Amino acid sequence: MRIMLKYDPGTATVLAAHDVSFAYGTEVVLEHVNLAVRAGEFAALAGPNGAGKSTLLRILLGLLAPRSGSVEVFGVGPHELRDRWRVGYVPQRPRIAPDLPATVEEVVATGRLAKRGWWRRRRADDRDAVEHALHSVALTDHRRKRLSELSGGQQQRALIARALAADPELLVLDEPIAGVDVDSQRLFRDSLVHLVQQHQAAVLLVSHELGAVADDLDRVIVLKHRVVFDGPPAELAATGVSLGVHRDDLPLWLEELS
């Protein structure tokens, strides 16, 4: 057994699932899932449609309780975590209210609520962080536009900026690449790589579209109700699935894994 003597950003586990199982009624969705994401790691959770990715994500974030097993975020249960800003979450874009009369800047500013306390007024450091986050996804010029006026890719970038505004140590993204233009994909990739390399943050990307980040991932976890693969992309390639080559029909190839 390894004993952790001090916080080491290279190896500290920031997110872990221990033997997590879940079922909707009698339909088993997750079976004995174990996984761990470490600080400074760029990981992807992939799998065919209906493999339980979204359910696992909700359990990891504390939005859903597992039937059995447990989840740890920075070493504690998701509900016991006091510094909620340490976890940044980018939801699927279609979940966002499409007609909300709010500017890009206002949306990004909601990302600061966890850091300063949701009941507090905005301060100068909040404004700086929002500014910085907008800049990092190249949306400074669009800050006063309504979110609904942006293209799909720009909206996705705004949601990433919202998560980045709190300087999270763990960023979890749900299907962030679907329907995103090439420019946005590049900016998106750059901001994630920057977060991992410069800030030693951990990133967990939940998607069945990994082509845009294929070369940057440290790890791929393939889920089909249970973990069927967990390792670097190169090892996945040895099983016959290449994130780069099979970028367009990755879910079908992942279906073949067992």
Instruction: Give the binding site for another protein (CB under 8 A).
Output: 58, 61-63, 84-85, 87, 89-91, 95-97, 99-103, 105-107, 109-111, 113-114, 118-119, 122, 144-146, 166
* CB of 17 vs another protein, minimal distance in Å: 16
* CB of 10 vs another protein, minimal distance in Å: 26
Per DSSP, what are the bridge partners of residue 219?
A: 43
Residue (112 or 208) nearer to another protein, CB: 112
Residue (170 or 196) nearer to another protein, CB: 170
E strands present in 79-182: 87-90, 170-174
Phi, psi for residue 42 in degrees, rounded to 5: -110, 100
Structure tokens at 202: 């951990």
- Report CA 143 to chain centroid distance, whole Å: 23
Instruction: Round to whole Å and give the CA distance between 216 and 40.
Output: 12
* CB of 2 vs another protein, minimal distance in Å: 30
Residue (93 or 246) nearer to another protein, CB: 93
Instruction: Round to whole Å and give the CA distance between 161 and 165.
Output: 6
Whether the Cβ atoms of residue 73 and residue 14 lie closer than 8 Å to each other: yes
* CB of 229 vs another protein, minimal distance in Å: 27
Residue (90 or 217) nearer to another protein, CB: 90
